[in-house]
Structure 1
Amino acid sequence: MIERLKLFFQYKVALVGSIIIILITFIGLLAPYLVLQDPLQIDLSNALQSASRNYPFGTDHLGRCVYSRIIYGTRISLSVSFIIVFTVMTIGTTIGLMSGYIGKRFDRIVVSIIDIILAFPSLILAIVITGILGPGLVNVMIAIMAVHWVGYARVVRSMVISIKEREYVIAARTSGTNHFHIITRHILPNILSTIIVLASLDMGGIILSISGLSFLGLGAQPPAPEWGAMLNDGKAYFLLKPDLMIYPGLAILLTVFSFNIMGDGLRDFFDPKSQTEKERSD
């Protein structure tokens, strides 16, 4: 375990991304202690104020503290994204395992459903589902979950089909080992690293999807301090006070970038060829 950790620290890209994500997560967890003002408090007398000691990022058109809203937006964006990624990862992995292992008619049905969903751009399909369900953060979560599970199912299914034909799996099946034991002890551990990498890379896309739908008015509704909703609120004042869009935009950019470089680093870390090359270079 210690050797694995030492090896991980050699992947500076993954390490930098992980540190930034940890810091952002702590900002979200400690949001009540980091804000200077109530993020929902309206004070029209302080509308569109420049940065000051009490308002480090200034105020918006309703006199609300932009800094406090950015901090609380971290909590909303990360918590919602983590819930979505965990849910789609669980659903997609379960369906992919069953489809690849059982095969036959069940596999054909799953593949047909995956092909139908993948035939449409994921964001467009999420917009359609949200439009049917109605605006709201919960409905956005449902829409994104309904679209994103197929990515995990497709990857897991293809890996299971390959792994279940290996000698040790065939030997376990021949010896009478039950299917649940084969899946949990022989198949799942071999695909777990791929699932982790896929989830870390997917976090950035999920955050962008949530922010995009909120920017369109389909996600978080006023007065929720969500980054995409803040972009929507600030677009009318872009020429007058562009930082109303710059600050939430930078928050989205930094978070998505951090998850992406962490995912890229984890992909190299779990790749045996990359590990061999890293050890040779050292």
Structure 2
Amino acid sequence: MKIQVLSSLALVLALLSQGCVSSKKYKDLEASYTQLQEKSRELNQKYQSGQQDLSGSSSRVKSLEEQIASEKANVAALQAALDKCLNSSSQGNVNISKLVDEINTSNKYIQHLVNTKNKSDSLNVVLTNNLTRSLSREEMRDVDVQVLKGVVYISLSDNMLYKSGSYEISDVAGQTLAKIAKIIKDYQGYDVLIEGNTDNVPISQTNIRNNWDLSALRASSVVQALQNTYSVDPKRLTAGGRGEYNPVAGNDSEAGKMKNRRTQIIITPKLDQFMDLIGKAPEKATKAE
């Protein structure tokens, strides 16, 4: 694409240098050049989106592989116990049958775990794609979307969300929050945690004691905006502040401090769904199938 653009530009310059191109021909060439530039930008945007999807998929695959490996290790241990039982004349048929049942149940639990994770991952991929497609290129500069181990993290920069040195939502943040709120409302089976984070620079305001207060107040502002302005069910929302103690970069530079000053919207399956999955011992796996 870049070669085509350069070729078109070279043609325009050559014709102009010879002084033999008409005004209409020049405009046509100029329009072609503009179209090529736009196509180049679109391809670059699709490439960036593809890279984000690939990164999220890799994280999900790694998490699933770790869980499957753990369950396979349990199966191997049970199989070893069974082999030992078969080689020992002191063990009865009842114990052998019990071990066989445990192995079969554990295998079913592995399959149940794989199916559950695949379903969760598929929903999260759709959720993430819907969100990133709804945001403009300008909004994506202040918004980072990631999927890690089945949880969707939407990180919003403080520059976009809040007025300087304040916990009040800025006017420019409204359009972005509206798009995020729509995605949240579309996925009713998910809980939403709003988590405020700061850098390590002490706050110097009479009504805010420290960075703990500031991070919690900012998270609360986003929660109340989602509830009051965008009609998100407050029962699904939780506000929390982590102050300066959850940095993603060093605080020894302005760039690092800027990354640490963020508010994360964390979208997860409801807690009872997680507990239901965790609490399903292998003997209950057959009921879930």
Name the TM-score, length of structure 1 as normaliser.
Answer: 0.26
The structure, 1 or 2, with the larger RCO (C-alpha pairs under 8 Å, 6+ apart) is 1
Structure with the bigger percentage of strand: 2
Report the structure number with the largest CA radius of gyration. 2
Structure with the bigger percentage of helix: 1
Name the TM-score, length of structure 2 as normaliser.
Answer: 0.25
